[in-house]
Structure formats: C-alpha cells, structure tokens
Structure 1
C-alpha cells in the first residue's frame, strides 16, 4: 500500500508538470522576455525546496545578466563596492594597496602602491589573483572581487597569487588605510623632469598642474611622462592633462557609441607645456584614460612613446544609480584618438620599443638629450648596469667556461636596437643601424643581413632570460672595453 501511495504521488507530480511542459512546447520558438524572468523568480519562490533569500536571488540574477554580455567592465556595484570604487579614484580607501583589472579568468595586478601591505608582501604587476579567502574567483566580476579584498582597517584577507613559473603563493594581509597622491614628480637630470601618473582621479589634474609648474620653475624644459602600470580612471582628467600640451579647441579624444554617435572632448585653457619635448613611457598595463592621453600626444606629434604596447582597454563606462542602492557601471562607447584610431582591443604601439624592465626611463633620457653614442657598462659579480650614465636595475654578466655572456635584450635595447621574439620558431630578431640579425635557439646559429654564422655563439637561458656571448657584439660594430671587473660596450652612429 505504501508503494502504491508513493507511486501515485510521483505520477501526480509528473502529470502536474507535464501539463506545464506541454503548454510551454507550444511557444518554444518564442524569444524570452522579461515576463519569463519574472515567472522564473516567482516559481523559485513558490516551489524551490528551500525558501530563497530575496536579495541573494536578485543580485545573482543581475550578475548573471551582466555576465552574459561578456564585458568585464560592465558590472553591478553594491553600496559597499561603490564606496571602494569612489575612494580608490580619489586616492583614499581601506585595502591592501593593489590595483587590479580583468585579464581572462582571473584579475591581474597592474600596480602595487609603495608602503602598503601588498607591496610589503611582494605582490608584483602581472600577478594573478586566483583565490580570495580560500575561494576560487574564476570568472567573477571585478567589482565583486574588489569588494571582498577591501574591508575594515585592521582586518585580514587571504589571497592566493599565481605568478608565471612558480607555484601558487598564499598570502595573509592586514587591510590598512591607503592614502596616496596620484601624481609624483622629480628632476631626473639637468633640464629633464619626470612626472608619474598612477591613476586618473578627481584630484589628478590639480596635482599634475602643480607638479608641472614646480618642474618648470626648477628649469626643466624636457619631460618624461610615466604612464606605466596606470589602469586609467576618469576620462575628463586625461583630457585636462592633454590640455596642458595641446592648443585649446583641439580634439583630445572622441567617444563613439553603438549608434555611431560621436562626442568630442576638446582641449581648453593655456598649455603650459606646449613647447616641451616629451617622452611618454607606456607598457602592457597602461590602459583606458592613460591610453587616451598617450594617444592624443602621439597623434599631435607632441610626444614619443617608449616602452611596450599598451593594454587596449578603450571603452567608456558610465555609472547609473539604482533606486535600491548601488549602481550599474556599464560600457557605453569606445575611445577614438584625434586621428580616429580605435584603442579598444588593439592598444597603442610605442614609437620606440623597449621591453627590458627598468630600461625605458634610461632610453627616454638618452632620447631627450639627443645622444649620438650609446654606452652600457656592467660589472662582473654585480646585478644592474649603467646606460649612458643612468643606473638601471637590470643586467648581469654570466661567466661560463672562460667566456662572458650578456643579457641579449638588455644589451641590444640599451645600445639602440629593437628586439623581437618570433612566435613561430622561437628565434630572436634584432634590428637597427641598417642591420637585421636572427638568433636561433639551440646550436648557436645566427644570421646578420642574410649572412649565416653556423657556429656563431650558443645562447644561454637562465631564469627565463636569454644571454649571448660578448664576442657577438663586434659583428655589430659595437666596441668593447674591460677595466678590472667592469665591461663597457659602446655603439656609435
């Protein structure tokens, strides 16, 4: 009898739901609309085995809807997330001192602020955040991740960091009050000054103007503008800084929406730095508003870009308040440079490619001094090098079987060449001074302007860096001199 009762109950349920399914089949070709969403929510409330939490369910529906757009920059920010978002742009917040942006499944670190928990823990640009408090965050909206990393001052957060070539690193950090200016500046050499912009916030233009005026008062006539590791921020701030170098009334950047409607942001005011030779330092983490500023200065011929290809985040987000609290941060348009270049997905190519860490500033100083001769000095047994009189935290000499090996990319980039790794066969191309050389991994074969050197010099790979024997440089008309433990290489035009 019990079995019959259970069977009757099951059959009754099947018949009950079959009626709904059959009626649904009649409309299977109709597009889903908001009524369907409301119906699903209603059915979950009525029939789900557990009583669902209304806030959790609605937030999940919102996040799922936004995730379906496949746009990591469109997201819902809760009131707590919004508080962090605003304070980080303003430069004051509670957290660990790290800036992250979307990069595939996991957010990537683009910058750590000196003197903060993240910096003290050794977190570096390029690291991926894969877990927060032990929970894998693959595919989660950036705002949600940021909300979990931030919190009350003095509380702890556990992060799992993934770094190429290493096992995942587990760190426990104590959140603290972070207060930092968005702009720093200094005189680096003679008439050359440097201004670094960390992020484009509400106070950035005022900070930048003060820094520029101060450098000019100190006799600076040439400028290095450092936008490396800058994830962007407020577009208006980038436009204001463009106005410091471009005549008023010119297009600083345009935004184009999905219907093709264009909005132009024009320069205004007096350009205090109009006549200054400028180098802009960029890298793979220069994004959004920093790309807009760099692109404008490049288009108008006011600056030379040195470094690596930029990130390619060329979209505009607006923040729409929601009646229940929180906001919708949604992508509405794409950036176009004054010459109508589209930044999104492509980025900006530097005029002079320099990918060796710590080297771009030294190359920028050489460029601004119009130096004809390039000189690099390394010392056996010590890390670092000196490039045209500027100390660089890259480079070392490897001695093996009586021969000296030098870091290939550093050496050639410091001496004025361009270096590219070829994806197809792993070869390394070096170009410059009317020469093209191809170094082939394994065996030591290389060619210069088509001439083959079958046993030229074997390449060494140590800690992911490629080294070449010092005898190779004479084939590039590069002179070499050794005094004690110091080895100097010089390239004349």
Structure 2
C-alpha cells in the first residue's frame, strides 16, 4: 500500500505541473514548480509520507526522461561507487565465498593484514566481534559490512581451521586493500602477452604500465588486450593507455555537446607499445572507455579488433556533487572516434532501440570502411555458439558447488606443496571424474551426465582453472582458461 501511495504521488507531481494553481504559488514565484509542489504536499497531504524518498524519486523520474546514462546517486551509494573507482578499500584483506552457509576464506590477499597474521585458504569464519556468522543465512553484503571499516580500526574474528579442535582468535587491524584493475598480465607463449582489464579506475594506468613493462622485458612481440565485460570508467585513463598504443599526434577521440565546445584529444608521444603487434578483445559488455580504446585502435589502423559488437555507450557524463554529498551525473557531451563515429546505441524515451543503427559509412586512416551501428563492430567476429547450454553449469556455480569442490581440492594440493609444473600435468579427465563423485554425494547423482561434449570440456577446464586460481592467483587462472577461449585462440592465430 505504501509503495502504491509513493507511485501515485510521484506521477501526481507531473500531472499537477499542467494545472493552474496560482493561489498556491503566490509566495513561491521564483522557485521551481517541482520544489513548490513538493512543499505543498509536505505541508498539506492527508497522510504522513517520507518526504526525502518522494523528493529523490522525483529526481530519478526527471533523469529518466533524458537519456539512459544520466543518473542520481544518493550519498550512501556514492561512497561505495567512489571506493570502487579509487582502486582500494579498507578491510582485513581476504577473498571469501559463502559455502554451506559459512564464510570460507578462498585466499588471503597478498600483503594484506590477514596474510600477515597467518590466516589461510580454507579457514572458516565463525564469529565476528563475538557475533555468530555461521549457519545464520548471512549474505555477501553483510559480510562486507562486517569485515570492512576505517583504516587502523580493529576487528576480532574467530576461525575454524581444519585439524584444530578449538577456534582460533585473531584481532585484525584493517588496512588499505587494493582493488585490482588488471586481472591478469601474463605471457601466453614466448612472444604473445595478454592483459585483462576489468575497469578504468584511478590505479588502472599504473597497473597497466607495470604489466606492459614486465611483459616487454620477457620478450613480448604481440599484445592481446582483453576488454571483454569492461564497463568503462575514467576517460582520462583510457586516453593514457591509448598514448602507449599509438604513435605521436594521432587523434584518440573527440567530444562535443550542445553546451560544450568540440575538444580533440591526440596522443602525445610514440608509446611504449608502438612496435608491438596489437589485438583488442571486446564483447557486448565492453562499454565507454573500452570503446574509446577499441575505436582509436580501429580508426588509426593500429591493430585488430576481435569479438562481438560492443555495448554502445557514446555519451560523456559530468559529475556534480550536491550539498548532501549525493551526486548528479549528467550527460554533457557525446564522444566520437577518430573517423567521426558516435557509437552511442540509439534510444527512445529511455528504451534502447536495438534494431535502428546509423548506416553511414566512415573511413579509417587507411580508407577501410567502418560503421557506427550502436557500438564498435569487430574486424573479426566471434559468433555466439547457440548450441552451448550452460544452464546446469550456471546452477552448480550459483549453488556454490564448484567453488566448494575447487576449494577442497586446492587445500589438498597445498598440503602436499604441489609445484605448478606438476599441477599442469594433472589428468583433466580424472579431475573431472572426482568432481562427478563429489556431485553424486553432495547434490544429485548423475546430474550432469547428459550435458554436451563442449560443455564438458568447458567444465573440465574451469575446474582446473579455479583450483589453480585458489593456489596461485588470477594469472594462473587466465593462463589455463586461455586454452579453451575462442576469442584468445583466434587472437593468437591472427597475424
């Protein structure tokens, strides 16, 4: 009932705007109609209402009539967004998973407070500040609230460790924990380097530069830059990365708006990677800053774009902080690739219109034809394999069964101190058979016997990769995943 009441009030605001109520506005003539109406409702409405909630709902409704990317973020949510984009947070420094209604440490973060105190992969957190957190149906966001906090503050956790009869108590001093933008920076073979970027945050360019320097030292002649499922972030970070990819004085991007002058941004130097062959991987989750890089590389004929058409976000938002620390992000400009393409996906009344695309022909530096078409179209397209069915695999992931199996296996391998070389020689089929036995006991007998061969191969590779990730980190995970990744296999074979 309360929800319906708020909905009625929201829409009433806009209906009233068209009605003559001059008597009410005699003392508020210089104020906006919306502010005046809200004030009238607050003073006169028959029932008590949450005025702040109504006010914020009105703001969101106004922005919905502009474009898909203008937005309002309240103060609490903005703190979380800011933390994500700053590239760090304050906490105890563990990767965790909730398995069988228990918080399980997947791995302590290297150099973090938990690792320094000796907390291990597989440890189970039972109490936080004397409050029971096991078998209480705790959620991920609740765990984060309990474990994160102000830098320098202390939190007590009590842990159950395999082989110990008593709980182990730790007083952990929270510290800054980095949020990585570079998921992986590895050599796939003697010549080909691979970097996976997950966002464009404050620390991204520094991480990227360190990764590039390391790979060049190891003999990299070709770079595969993976921007799949990268939603974007800071425009300036994308510009800095383009500076490393392009020769000097090449147009990277330009922006222009109804109330903003045209601003062209050029590369400032011969970048550290100008003599390195380049492949960019994109998909439907690559947006904004990811599309700026892909567009600059494509239009300057600098490298090959492989994958699927990108998301299509070609609008630039400026962030305006309000008095209560909430934030208005409002679209002020469009951005254009060097050939003049605005790759914003068309929208109408905030509903994205997939079937309508700009068919105008644009030309790259060498004269190749490219199109805006609501995103960056790859030079080489990887089609979606409609024959693959991941429903059962997704169910196993969502139930935490794959995480549980891989964590158990990684603990066993740690106990025998297995080397990377020995791990890489493990028989995948035997490992897969062990997982089937685990499922028979933990879930449903013969549950995945009927899945196709491609799904089986994906699962075999995923189980090995996740187990390796628990032991050696993300680089090992991506190295093993590359063997079964059609995008990467195509990039490796592209000359």
Report the 3-state secondary structure (helix = DSSP H, G, I; strand = E; otherwise coil) of the residue aligned with 1:383: helix
Aligned counterparts, 1:28-427, within 5 A = 35-69=32-66, 71-93=67-89, 115=95, 117=97, 172-173=139-140, 174-176=142-144, 179-183=178-182, 184-259=184-259, 261-345=261-345, 346-356=374-384, 383-384=457-458
Deviations 1:167-224 (A, max 9, x none): xxx9943443574310130000121000111100111111111111110000111110
Q: 1:116 to 1:355 in 2, by over 3 A?
A: farther
Q: Residue 56 of structure 1: CA displacement?
A: 2.8
Bigger fraction of residues in strand:
1
Deviations 1:428-462 (A, max 9, x none): xxxxxxxxxxxxxxxxxxxxxxxxxxxxxxxxxxx
Q: 1: distance between equivalents of 2:222 and 2:325?
A: 48
Report the 3-state secondary structure (helix = DSSP H, G, I; strand = E; otherwise coil) of the residue aligned with 2:318: strand
- Relative CO higher for 1 or 2, CA cutoff 8 Å, sep ≥ 6? 2
Report the 3-state secondary structure (helix = DSSP H, G, I; strand = E; otherwise coil) of the residue aligned with 1:56: helix
Q: 1:298 to 1:91 in 2, by over 3 A?
A: same
Q: 2: distance between equivalents of 1:119 and 1:44?
A: 49
Q: 1: distance between equivalents of 2:454 and 2:257?
A: 57
Q: 2: distance between equivalents of 1:277 and 1:180?
A: 29
Q: Residue 354 of structure 1: CA displacement?
A: 1.0
Q: 1: distance between equivalents of 2:244 and 2:333?
A: 25
Q: 1: distance between equivalents of 2:132 and 2:281?
A: 36
Q: 1: distance between equivalents of 2:132 and 2:292?
A: 37
Report the 3-state secondary structure (helix = DSSP H, G, I; strand = E; otherwise coil) of the residue aligned with 1:244: helix
Unaligned runs of 5+ in 1: 1-19, 96-113, 122-153, 157-169, 358-377, 396-409, 417-490
Q: 1:51 to 1:195 in 2, by over 3 A?
A: same
**TM-score scaled by length of structure 1:** 0.52
Q: 1:119 to 1:241 in 2, by over 3 A?
A: farther
**TM-score scaled by length of structure 2:** 0.51
Unaligned runs of 5+ in 2: 1-15, 24-28, 102-130, 149-176, 346-373, 386-451, 462-479
Does the Cα contact within 8 Å between 1:155 and 1:175 map onto a contact in 2? no
Does the Cα contact within 8 Å between 1:248 and 1:269 map onto a contact in 2? yes
Q: 2: distance between equivalents of 1:331 and 1:381?
A: 42
Deviations 1:61-112 (A, max 9, x none): 322222232x2321222221221111111233489xxxxxxxxxxxxxxxxx
Q: Residue 53 of structure 1: CA displacement?
A: 4.0
Report the 3-state secondary structure (helix = DSSP H, G, I; strand = E; otherwise coil) of the residue aligned with 1:281: strand
Q: Residue 355 of structure 1: CA displacement?
A: 3.1
Higher radius of gyration, 1 or 2: 1
Report the 3-state secondary structure (helix = DSSP H, G, I; strand = E; otherwise coil) of the residue aligned with 2:20: helix
Does the Cα contact within 8 Å between 2:84 and 2:179 map onto a contact in 1? no
Q: Residue 25 of structure 1: CA displacement?
A: 8.8
Does the Cα contact within 8 Å between 2:482 and 2:488 map onto a contact in 1? no
Q: 1: distance between equivalents of 2:87 and 2:73?
A: 19
Aligned residue pairs, count: 293
Q: 1:228 to 1:205 in 2, by over 3 A?
A: same
Report the 3-state secondary structure (helix = DSSP H, G, I; strand = E; otherwise coil) of the residue aligned with 1:325: coil
Q: 1: distance between equivalents of 2:315 and 2:96?
A: 30
Q: 2: distance between equivalents of 1:67 and 1:250?
A: 37
Q: 1:189 to 1:117 in 2, by over 3 A?
A: same
Q: 1:93 to 1:414 in 2, by over 3 A?
A: closer
Does the Cα contact within 8 Å between 1:94 and 1:175 map onto a contact in 2? no
Q: 2: distance between equivalents of 1:336 and 1:155?
A: 54
RMSD: 4.3
Q: 2: distance between equivalents of 1:155 and 1:249?
A: 60
Residue in 2 aligned with 1:110? none
Deviations 1:382-417 (A, max 9, x none): 62599xxx976769xxxxxxxxxxxxxx8xx9998x
